[in-house]
Structures are given as C-alpha cells and as structure tokens.
Amino acid sequence: MKIRVLFAVVVVIILVNTDVGFALETESLLEKSMSDTLDLWREGQYERLFEQLAHRGKTSRESFVEKMRESSIHPVCCWQKMEQFRIINEKQTEATVYVKLGLEGTPYASGTVTREFKLTHQEGVWKMQLADVFSIAGVTGKKRNGTKRYIKKINYYN
C-alpha cells in the first residue's frame, strides 16, 4: 500500500514539474521573441524588424521603414524595456501577453505603455503584430490626401 502511495506521489510531482517547466519554457520563448523584436526596433534595423512582424497586410517594406524612421518613439534598453510580462492566453499559433514597455521619445513623462499584445506563431517564430508596432510608434499604416496621419494620443501610463 505504501509503495502505491509513494509511486502516485512521485508521478504527480513529475507531472506538475513537467507542466510548470513547459509553461516557463513557453513564457521564455514568447518573452524572448518580443524582446528581440523590440531590440531590432531600438537599433533602427527596420528592414529586419519588418520581417519579424505578423499581419503586415498591404504595407510594403519601404513604406514601413519610412514610417518608422519618421517616428521618434522607440523602446528603451535593458531591464526597463519589458516589465510585468505575463501570458494571458496561448494557443498553438496565437498568444496574448500583457507587458509594460519602456519607451523613449514619447510626448508623455512616464515613457511607458502597459497593455495586451497579440503574438502570432509563424515560420517557427513568435511575431508581434505590425499594427501594434505602428500604434506604439505613434504612426498609422494609412495615408490621407497624400500626407501621413499620426495618432494624436496614445495612452502611456504606468
């Protein structure tokens, strides 16, 4: 009887540790992918950044690079880049994460944006949405009357 109980306890411990390990590994992959994407943005590597984004729609690489170069907003470095990262929902090809991003060049004193982001798993990599990057950078993907239209207010808060 004692052997059965001991065996059951060992099996439960192994299963719990495996699930926790998998969850930590998944969070690590999502967090690293998002962090790498933000690093490309901060370093001004917009061509490579474009390739790391999902749901690009009709936005061309050239248009994307031009809009990103015009924006003064970009992620900060190091530990302030991403804080409070947590997975809200995860499926095989989509995940929703909640994170506080540190930004430079914002019109607001706090220099952060805290919100949910959708990531898409494509080509073996988790990718941020192009629309999210445009939103944070303060630009839209559309032109109006041949001039660029900028978002007037972005909710930056702690």
| Closest to 125 in 3D by CA, of 32, 13, 16, 25 | 32
The structure tokens 């299963």 sit at 15
Q: Please give the pLDDT value at position 56.
A: 83
Q: Is 150 helix (H, G, I), strand (E, B) or coil?
A: strand
Q: Please give the pLDDT value at position 12.
A: 52
Model confidence pTM above 0.75: no
Q: Please give the pLDDT value at position 151.
A: 40
Residues 6+ away with beta carbon under 8 Å from 119: 30, 33, 34, 54, 94, 95, 96, 97, 126, 127, 128, 129
Q: Please give the pLDDT value at position 3.
A: 72
Q: Please give the pLDDT value at position 109.
A: 73
Q: Please give the pLDDT value at position 150.
A: 41
pLDDT by position in tens, the chain (length 158): 677 655 555 555 555 554 444 444 556 899 999 999 999 999 999 999 999 999 888 999 999 999 999 999 999 999 899 999 999 999 999 999 999 999 999 887 779 999 999 999 999 999 999 999 999 999 875 655 444 444 434 444 44
Q: Quote the distance between the C-alpha of residue 153 and its chain's center.
A: 21
Q: Quote the distance between the C-alpha of residue 60 and its chain's center.
A: 21
- DSSP one-letter code for 44: T
Q: Please give the pLDDT value at position 94.
A: 97
Q: Please give the pLDDT value at position 149.
A: 43
Domain 2-150: which CATH number of 2.60.120.560, 3.40.50.620, 3.10.450.100, 3.20.20.370: 3.10.450.100
Q: Is the dihedral of CA 47, 53, 59, 64 positive or negative?
A: negative
